[in-house]
Structure 1
Amino acid sequence: MTATQADLQIDRPSVADGAALWRIAKESGTLDLNSSYSYLLWCRDFAGTTAVARAEGGEAVGFVTGYIRPEAPHTLLVWQVAVDAAYRGRGLAAALLDGLTARIAAERPITTVETTITPGNTASERLFTSYAARHGADVTREVLFGTGLFPDGPHDPEVLYRIGPLTAS
């Protein structure tokens, strides 16, 4: 952790964090916002593959959500990463991603991290390509969900970033 992150703690979420995760996602301005109910469920059912950054008072100020793909048990799919506006620019998203993958790797082997990024989301592109570089991994990209698959109106394609094999920390 850098000195600017020293006052923050990264740990697993509890159900009580669901509302904060929903708020942070909503205020991000870039994430697809899920229902508040889904963030509560996520904090209950996927706490083991989710990380929350907490400020000194214990409030959630950032998060990364993910899950182990059932069809690929050595692959972590990262669903969303968001940091409260007041805490951006401190490397917190990278610390969350590194912390989460280190925690999961201590419990089970993971060789690949996947995520989807819409074209033009340069912050996410930088986050995940720098993650790959830190971990000695290659990045491949392919469209996972094209524009025409989304039933609720115009949506940019979701490009799958596959990072692996993971070798270094």
Structure 2
Amino acid sequence: MTAGHAELQAELRIDRPSVADGATLWRIAKESKALDLNSSYSYLLWCRDFADTSAVARDDRGEAVGFVTGYLRPDRPDTLLVWQVAVDGAYRGRGLAGALLDGLVARIGAEQRITAVETTITPGNTASERLFASFAERHGARVENEVLFATGQFPDGPHDPEVLHRIGPLSL
């Protein structure tokens, strides 16, 4: 963990989300303007069913100000698929997304073997590309990229391709 991450850890608490966080996670995702916004219902379910593989950052009032949602792939239980990462506008630019990602991977890695992290990023989302490249560098891992879902595979109209970024092997 970098010194900046340590300072954030002291200022903010990173833990598991609860159903009570679902509405806030939906709001943060909506306000990010970068994420595909899922239904509010899906964020409530995510906080209930995938809390063990997700993380929230809480301010001194206990309010969620950032999150990472993820799950362990059923066909590769040593791989964490990161679904979404978002930080409230007031907390952006301070390394919180990286601290959340590091904290989540450390927590899961302490409970079971994790050898890789995967995520998808649309071309041009340089903030996400930097976040995951930096994560790979901190963990001494390679990044391999390939198109996971091409534009034509999306049934609901034009959508940029989703490029899979596979980071590993991790040294935890």
The two structures have a TM-score, normalised by structure 2, of 0.96
Counterpart of 1:132 in structure 2: which amino acid?
A: A
Distance 2:41 2:77 in 1: 26
Kindly report which structure 2 residues correspond to 1:52-71, keeping only aligned pairs within 5 A, or say none: 52-71=56-75
Instruction: Output one character per residue of 1:72-114: Cα deviation in whole Å (capped at 9) or x when no partner.
Output: 1100000000000000011000000000000000000000000
Counterpart of 2:167 in structure 1: which amino acid?
A: I
Of residues 20, 24, 28, the one that matches 1:20 is 24
Identity between Structure 1 and Structure 2 (%): 79
**Superposition RMSD on alpha carbons, in Å?**
0.9
Distance 1:88 1:118 in 2: 20
Distance 2:155 2:148 in 1: 15
The two structures have a TM-score, normalised by structure 1, of 0.97
Instruction: Output one character per residue of 1:56-79: Cα deviation in whole Å (capped at 9) or x when no partner.
Output: 101100000000000011000000
Where does residue 160 of structure 2 map in the other structure? 156
Distance 1:4 1:110 in 2: 24
**Runs of 5+ consecutive residues of structure 2 not aligned to the other structure:** none
Q: Secondary structure at the match of 1:31?
A: coil
Where does residue 137 of structure 1 map in the other structure? 141
User: How many residue pairs get matched?
Assistant: 168
Of residues 75, 79, 84, the one that matches 1:75 is 79
Whether the aligned pair in 2 keeps the contact of 1:5 and 1:90 (CA below 8 Å) is no
Whether the aligned pair in 2 keeps the contact of 1:78 and 1:114 (CA below 8 Å) is yes
